[in-house]
């Protein structure tokens, strides 16, 4: 019987005939931690007296969650991580370098890789056909030391995509609808594997958004095959040599199949305090918004910023509504400057943050007060995530976010002129 993408990659990297349900030990092609999980990872590494990294050139530390450091405590965590990088020779992406998952996609991973990160959104790299998953600090510390880890080979759910997005609808709306329909634990321990004739029309930016949020349905990975879109992306990133076609076998065995017709989707918003708590953006008209945040590993890419700029050209933010943008990487920031998007957005009232996580996790650069509401393009709206536990976080696409900037209340992007 044929294999799913997950079974194929884990077979390749474990040297076993890996089938759903098996437990295997797989070699890891890239392992990383970021600045809020890194210090504990390093302490676990030190607690194990591991001394040396298995592969310093495949081990990375990213400074993105609280960078530049907002206070003394985090500054000293950064210092601790820099010291470790100097001692071990691992890769380091210091402040302003951008969000780990975006950098992994841009320049560090390729189809068929196994990637482990001390961050739950490590799944983002599944867009390139990498078996990429988040783990905690102990697991990652052991991968630092051994260059391998154990996995239970996941069952796969096939997501078959048809049709094409209508105006105002984006990949974010697709993934919010998917999570809304299967629930926040609808794919726990499973792989989501995307396929179908509509896949061609999902750009790499779309795929990264979708794979990123696979974990919000509990999935271990969100996998895309490596196809023409992947090849074009890698060529664009000047990494054409990293491309190899990679797909599941025709007779692979899936636990279930879900069909998504892109044409039927509408701009969608997740309401507080759960990602699966979705509603059409139009139904939420009248919900006042104090802050709009466009950025994060979910929607901080050039296409997202371009979409916002197109909607906001010549417009102004609503006086009640603060508007924050954080590009996911320096490459994106520079491209957005060259294309004139940043000028358009600043003229519309945007505050531009350095490449990084910014307001996403309530540490700095846009922390919410009690009673405030934020429309964010991030992936999580859990209670307390962006500051006060009495704040309200709504999740939507960059188009919905930009429309909301103009009106100051949740707005379907199709309803702005």
Contact residues: ligand SF4, CB under 6 A? 64-65, 99, 101, 119, 121, 296-297, 357, 360-361, 378-379
Q: Are 223 and 193 in contact (CB under 8 A)?
A: yes
As a whole number of angstroms, the distance between CA 296 and CA 100 comes to 10
Rule CB under 8 A: which of 344-373 touch other proteins?
361-363, 367
Choose, by CB under 8 A, the member of 65, 110, 158, 317 that binds other proteins.
Answer: 65
Choose, by CB under 8 A, the member of 19, 82, 152, 313 that binds other proteins.
Answer: 152
Closest CA to 182 of 222, 130, 131: 222
Q: Is 37 in the site for other proteins (CB under 8 A)?
A: yes
Q: Are 282 and 400 in contact (CB under 8 A)?
A: no
Taking the least distance from each CB to other proteins, the nearer of 3 and 121 is 121
Q: Which residues are CB-contacts of 79 (< 8 A; sequence separation ≥ 6)?
A: none
Q: Are 383 and 292 in contact (CB under 8 A)?
A: no
Q: Is 315 in the site for other proteins (CB under 8 A)?
A: no
Span near other proteins by CB under 8 A; candidates 71-79, 255-263, 311-319, 324-332: 71-79
Q: Is 141 in the site for other proteins (CB under 8 A)?
A: yes
- Show the binding pattern over residues 269-308: x = contacts other proteins (CB under 8 A), - = does not: -----x----------------------------------
Partner touching 54 among ligand SF4, other proteins, none, CB below 5 to 8 Å by kind: none
Q: Is 232 in the site for other proteins (CB under 8 A)?
A: no
Partner touching 42 among ligand SF4, other proteins, none, CB below 5 to 8 Å by kind: none
Q: Dihedrals φ, ψ of 158, to 5°?
A: -90, 125
**Tokens matching residue 221:** 């990975």
Neighbours of 192 (CB within 10 A): 31
Residue 45 Cβ, how far from other proteins at the closest point, in Å?
9
Report the chain's terminal Cα–Cα distance, integer Å: 53
Q: Is 179 in the site for other proteins (CB under 8 A)?
A: no
Rule CB under 8 A: which of 238-267 touch other proteins?
none
Residue 49 Cβ, how far from ligand SF4 at the closest point, in Å?
30
Choose, by CB under 8 A, the member of 3, 13, 101, 148 that binds other proteins.
Answer: 148
Span near other proteins by CB under 8 A; candidates 22-30, 198-206, 346-354, 401-409: 22-30
Residue 51 Cβ, how far from ligand SF4 at the closest point, in Å?
29
β-sheet with 322-325: strand ranges across: 278-280, 268-270, 392-395, 373-376, 291-294, 322-325, 351-352
Partner touching 99 among other proteins, ligand SF4, none, CB below 5 to 8 Å by kind: ligand SF4
Partner touching 408 among ligand SF4, other proteins, none, CB below 5 to 8 Å by kind: none
Neighbours of 228 (CB within 10 A): 11
**Tokens matching residue 269:** 């918003």
Q: Are 328 and 301 in contact (CB under 8 A)?
A: yes
Q: Is 76 in the site for other proteins (CB under 8 A)?
A: yes
Residue 51 Cβ, how far from other proteins at the closest point, in Å?
12
Partner touching 297 among ligand SF4, other proteins, none, CB below 5 to 8 Å by kind: ligand SF4
As a whole number of angstroms, the distance between CA 161 and CA 135 comes to 29
Angle (CA) 277-281-283 rounded to 5° is 85
Closest CA to 194 of 221, 234, 231, 167: 221
Taking the least distance from each CB to other proteins, the nearer of 13 and 220 is 220
Span near other proteins by CB under 8 A; candidates 119-127, 232-240, 251-259, 316-324: 119-127
Partner touching 346 among other proteins, ligand SF4, none, CB below 5 to 8 Å by kind: none
Residue 123 Cβ, how far from other proteins at the closest point, in Å?
10
Summarize as ranges the residues that interact with other proteins (CB under 8 A): 23-25, 36-37, 39-40, 44, 47-49, 65-66, 70-71, 73-74, 76-77, 80, 117-120, 122, 134-139, 141-142, 145-146, 148-150, 152, 184-185, 188-189, 218, 220, 274, 361-363, 367, 380, 382-385, 387, 389
């Amino acid at each position: 019987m044929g294999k799913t993408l997950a079974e194929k990659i884990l077979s390749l990297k474990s040297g076993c005939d890996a089938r759903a349900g098996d437990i295997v030990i797989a070699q890891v092609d890239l392992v990383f931690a970021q600045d809020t999980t890194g210090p504990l990872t390093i302490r676990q590494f030190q607690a194990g007296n591991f001394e040396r990294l298995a592969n310093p050139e495949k081990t990375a530390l990213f400074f993105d969650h609280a960078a530049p450091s907002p206070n003394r405590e985090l500054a000293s965590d950064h210092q601790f991580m820099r010291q470790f990088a100097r001692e071990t020779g691992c890769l380091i992406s210091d402040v302003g370098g951008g969000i780990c998952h975006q950098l992994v996609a841009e320049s560090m991973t390729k189809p068929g890789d196994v990637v482990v990160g001390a961050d739950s959104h490590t799944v983002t790299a599944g867009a390139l056909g990498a078996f990429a998953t988040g783990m905690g600090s102990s697991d990652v510390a052991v991968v630092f030391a051994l260059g391998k880890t154990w996995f239970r080979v996941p069952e796969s759910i096939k997501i078959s995509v048809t049709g094409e997005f209508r105006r105002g609808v984006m990949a974010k709306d697709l993934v919010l609808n998917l999570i809304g329909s299967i629930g926040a634990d609808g794919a726990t321990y499973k792989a989501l594997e995307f396929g179908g004739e509509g896949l061609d029309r999902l750009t790499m930016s779309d795929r990264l958004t979708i794979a990123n949020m696979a974990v919000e349905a509990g999935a271990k990975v969100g996998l895309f095959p490596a196809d023409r879109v992947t090849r074009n992306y890698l060529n664009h990133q000047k990494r054409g040599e990293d491309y190899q076609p990679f797909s599941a076998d025709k007779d692979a065995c899936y636990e279930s199949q879900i069909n998504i017709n892109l044409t039927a989707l509408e701009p969608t918003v997740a309401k507080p305090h759960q990602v699966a708590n979705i509603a059409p953006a139009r139904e939420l008209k009248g919900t006042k918004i104090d802050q709009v945040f466009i950025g994060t590993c979910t929607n901080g890419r050039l296409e997202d910023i371009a979409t916002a700029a197109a909607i906001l050209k010549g417009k102004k933010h609503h006086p009640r509504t603060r508007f924050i943008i954080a590009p996911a990487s320096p490459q994106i920031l520079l491209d957005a400057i060259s294309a004139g998007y940043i000028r358009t957005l600043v003229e519309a009232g945007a505050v531009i943050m350095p490449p990084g996580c910014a307001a996403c996790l309530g540490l700095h650069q846009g922390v919410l007060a009690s009673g405030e509401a934020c429309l964010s393009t991030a992936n999580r709206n859990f209670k307390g995530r962006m500051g006060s536990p009495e704040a309200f976080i709504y999740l939507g696409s960059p188009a919905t976010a930009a429309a909301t900037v103009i009106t100051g209340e949740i707005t379907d992007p199709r309803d702005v002129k």
